[in-house]
Structure 1
Amino acid sequence: MKRILATVVVVALLISGCGDDEPPDSDKPAADQVTYLTAFGAVGRDAFAWVAQEKGYFRDAGIDVTIQLGAATGENLKVLAAGKAQFANLDLTGTWILAGKGQYRDVRAIAAIHQQTLVSIISLEGSAVAKPKDLEGHKLGAATGSVNQLLFPGYAKLAGVDESKVQWVNAPPPQLPALLAGGQVDALSTFLIGAKGLEKAAGGKKTVVMPYSTYLPELYGNGLIAPVSITQGDPDLAGRFRDAALKGLAYTIEHPQEAAEIMKKAQPAADVTAAVGEITLMTPYVKTSGLIEKDRVAGAIATLEKNGLIPPGSLTPDAAVDFALAPSS
């Protein structure tokens, strides 16, 4: 009798359990599928995206993000324009220079990662380049299509460098450290936060860093960018992505070692030591709120105009930033 009763109870439980044909999460909407481009491969400045993915910040925001390695401003903008990515970490100044020249005007910034441009001239101690003027007659390496070359004419003018006497050597971002370490270029135009990685690649030689911001302090550095088809067409998605990415940025700043290791897990070729160095060096330039101020954007545009980098009146703050999405003070 007890065996029969037990059987009845089991059957009853099975029947009651089978009454719900849908899984518990069936009412949840499907996650939005997006592709995100890093600014410059898999380095410390981009670790926050993998942190946001690993910690579930994107998932909690209802977004399934595919992270692809980016290749500097111009190349990333090509991918965005082709509709092959929906979000990217780009140099805001480089993006605005191109927009002012009539290129890639259908994108908007939605958050700032770096509150000041980090573009710099970096050489090795004891080399032929110890100050900006020394660049004349020497080879300067940079990532193809990067902000470094876009912004250089303004920097050169203010630093007293005859840009016509500088020989540029273009290369993919991963090849730049070897070019400098091997003496194939005399200096690099790259981000100052990469100095530690360059010293490691050069066998411990110290670097000489000459920031563009010495002469151009008004300019922003990297920021989150999206095409207007997203910022205007689906602002809810843009806002959710922005918040999740900035949450990853905040965690990265607080936990640089863990963030670098998370990136290494996703990208085995990444250098943890160099990544920690980048995150540490960029921390003073970061506001994890992603703040973008309209008056500062106007000032940055004015600086670009004044230094002949874009034509006067070619760009307005509202054509550069979506202020309905960008965090404000």
Structure 2
Amino acid sequence: MTNRFSHLRTVMISLVAAVSALLMLVGLGGCGHAQQSTASSAKLTPVTFMLWWTPDTNHIGVYTALNKGYYRDAGLDVSIVAAAQAGSEQAVENGAADFTLSTMTNLANYSTQGAHLKEVLQVQQKPSAIWCSLASNTAIKSPKDFDGKTFATFGSSESDAVVREMIRHDGGKGNFDKVTVGTSTFQTLESGRADFGGFYDTWEGVQSRMNGPALNCFTEPDYGIPGNADTIGLVTSDKLIKKDPELVRKFVQATKKGYEYAYAHPDDASEILVHEAKDANLELDMVKTSMKTITDGDYWGPRNDSSFVFGTPDTAGAQQYFDFLAKNGAYEDADGHTLTKAPQATDVSTSEFLK
């Protein structure tokens, strides 16, 4: 899982870049059966989807669409490739990939640096970030107890703003020390180098509940963070939208079908993900439990509301969060100058391809 903790992706990708590159050369990209290989593939339009990090339940709809033949039925020959070392958003921006996953939050940040990306299908509809200490650390009972403690961070000013506001909302001063995480927030906390850090309930939270270490966690909406920071969804470039809107529409519609199937049949989709992404060595029980957390929490939208259109961008929730970040000085332009005006969620998302 990524987003505010996305620097973990950069750190880890640097460790596996050589392996990933080799896998990509042989057409695997670390993704199992990641490419449609059919006799009729020459008649299909090639499309490249780049992983946001490594295969997980965020990506499950893409793997399901591939496995079920939804892309082939749409006339697309889809290849899933490993994440680029510079980041999948950058790869889409420069045309090295056609689609990836990201969040409107990330796209807003990229837009301040001059990028032109859009979310065309929002998968996650509510925040899943959790801010946690080890359960064994009895000195921390609520976010105000983060005051004066050490935050295991990946260096994001966004995360700093969130933690500071949560502490203050809970009655603290908002002062904390920081240490940069290497490869694992869990390891950093267990080593005693830090007291608390950020995780995602639908992945690391599942890992903690299944395998430990036990965590004591707090969610953003309970402690003053407005809107939705975790608007995970399908991303492409404005350039591709302008060049070939029909290709974008076909890919969005087929991908939407894959996520809808996974939401309705989480156990089956979990088996598909584990099968298709063999090289990721995912544990089936972990994937199934992650999907149960997602479905039980309606993270991808209300399943019993017939008026809800799956994939609709939550621009109102995203904008609330953008405004909060701008107020806290978390945005900078390409020259490093702090921006006081928030990016607009309607500029980094569209629902036109859901129709």
**TM-score band w.r.t. shorter chain:** 0.7 to 0.9
Counterparts of 1:276 and 1:259, CA distance in 2: 9
Mark the runs of 5 or more structure 2 residues left unpaired by the alignment. Answer: 1-38, 302-308, 332-338
Counterparts of 2:51 and 2:69, CA distance in 1: 18
RMSD over aligned Cα atoms:
3.1
How does 1:114-263 map onto structure 2 within 5 Å?
Answer: 114-127=124-137, 129-141=140-152, 150-160=158-168, 165-172=176-183, 175-180=184-189, 185-194=194-203, 195-202=205-212, 205-214=213-222, 215-221=224-230, 222-263=232-273
- Residue 7 of structure 1 corresponds to which residue in structure 2? none
- 2:289 aligned to 265, 277, 298, which one? 277
Contact 2:167 2:174 in 1 (8 A): no
Counterparts of 1:85 and 1:115, CA distance in 2: 25
Q: Kindly name which structure, 1 or 2, has the bigger radius of gyration based on alpha carbons.
A: 1
**Alignment CA distance shift 1:320-1:182 (3 Å):** same
- Residue 301 of structure 1 corresponds to which residue in structure 2? 322
Q: Which secondary structure state, in structure 2, belongs to the residue aligned with residue 261 of structure 1?
A: helix
Deviation, 1:66, is: 1.7
Counterparts of 2:79 and 2:157, CA distance in 1: 29
Deviation, 1:293, is: 4.7
Counterparts of 2:316 and 2:271, CA distance in 1: 38
**Alignment CA distance shift 1:164-1:114 (3 Å):** same
- Residue 34 of structure 1 corresponds to which residue in structure 2? 47
Counterparts of 2:114 and 2:81, CA distance in 1: 20
* Amino acid of the structure 1 residue aligned with 2:142: K
- Residue 3 of structure 1 corresponds to which residue in structure 2? none
Deviation, 1:208, is: 2.2
Deviation, 1:29, is: 8.0
Counterparts of 1:322 and 1:75, CA distance in 2: 22
TM-score using structure 1 length: 0.76
* Amino acid of the structure 2 residue aligned with 1:44: T
Deviation, 1:267, is: 2.3
Contact 2:48 2:81 in 1 (8 A): yes
Q: Percent identity?
A: 19
Q: Aligned residue pairs: how many?
A: 292
- Residue 103 of structure 1 corresponds to which residue in structure 2? 113
Contact 2:179 2:193 in 1 (8 A): no
Mark the runs of 5 or more structure 1 residues left unpaired by the alignment. Answer: 1-24
- Residue 286 of structure 1 corresponds to which residue in structure 2? 300
- Range that drifts further, 121-130 or 238-247: 121-130
- Range that drifts further, 218-227 or 310-319: 310-319
Q: Which secondary structure state, in structure 2, belongs to the residue aligned with residue 133 of structure 1?
A: helix
Q: Which secondary structure state, in structure 2, belongs to the residue aligned with residue 224 of structure 1?
A: strand
Deviation, 1:197, is: 1.2
Counterparts of 2:51 and 2:174, CA distance in 1: 29
Deviation, 1:273, is: 1.6
How does 1:1-20 map onto structure 2 within 5 Å?
Answer: none
- 1:317 aligned to 345, 348, 355, which one? 345
Deviation, 1:155, is: 4.0
Deviation, 1:115, is: 1.1
* Amino acid of the structure 2 residue aligned with 1:188: G
**Alignment CA distance shift 1:206-1:59 (3 Å):** same
- 1:59 aligned to 72, 80, 103, which one? 72
Contact 1:197 1:274 in 2 (8 A): yes
